[in-house]
Amino acid sequence: MKVDATNLEMFDDDSIDLIESHHMIEHLSLAEAEKALKEWQRVTRPGGLLVITFPDITRICLRWLKFIIWYPIKPRPAKLARTVQMIVGSQEHDGMFHKSVYNITLMRRFLLKYGFKVEFSYGRYPRRTTPSLLVIAKKQPCHSNGRAN
């Protein structure tokens, strides 16, 4: 089901087994991302899963550094421009701006704050030109609707 990630009022608390978000969270501001995580935490049942993919800012920055270091020797303006787009989005229209960035450390901490524990992460998914991460996190029972069980 396609819905507004920051407003899941149509779902009851602890009613969802699985939420998937693919290359969307980086298009939210940090405040919007926090609102989304609060909603995802609210509606996901304890033990439920969150599958999320996003650009990996660490690997993108390493790519940026590589191009900057080698640029005087081997200029690659198109690849450098593409790397900038990986950071800020393609900016073709309003929905194509990146408003936040994450790596596995930041995402793990962010998810834990909202009661999700990372169970699995993979740095080569999905296969795309932008270095990305796949994270599967499980909602912890003690964070059901913010209550300790």
Considering the domain boundaries, does residue 5 fall inside one? no
- Per-residue CA distances from 60 to 40, 52, 89, 127, 138 (Å): 27, 18, 12, 15, 27
Q: How confident is the model at residue 142, as a pLDDT? A: 73
Q: What is the helix (H) or strand (E) element at residue 40, kind and residue range?
A: helix 30-43
Looking at the 3D structure of the chain, how many domains does it have? 1
Higher pLDDT, 136 or 142: 136
Given the DSSP bridges, would you call strands 116-122 and 132-139 parallel, antiparallel or unpaired? antiparallel
Considering the domain boundaries, does residue 7 fall inside one? no
Considering the domain boundaries, does residue 42 fall inside one? yes
Look up the CATH number of the domain holding residue 60.
3.40.50.150
Which amino acid would we find at residue 21? Answer: S
pLDDT at 145 over 80: no
pLDDT at 89 over 50: yes
Give the percent of the chain with pLDDT over 70: 93
pLDDT at 75 over 50: yes
Considering the domain boundaries, does residue 25 fall inside one? yes
Q: pLDDT tens digits, residue range 27-59?
A: 999 999 999 999 999 999 999 999 999 999 999
Which pLDDT band holds residue 143 (cuts at 50, 70, 90)? low
pTM of the model: 0.88
Give Cα 121 distance to the centre of its chain: 12
Which pLDDT band holds residue 3 (cuts at 50, 70, 90)? confident
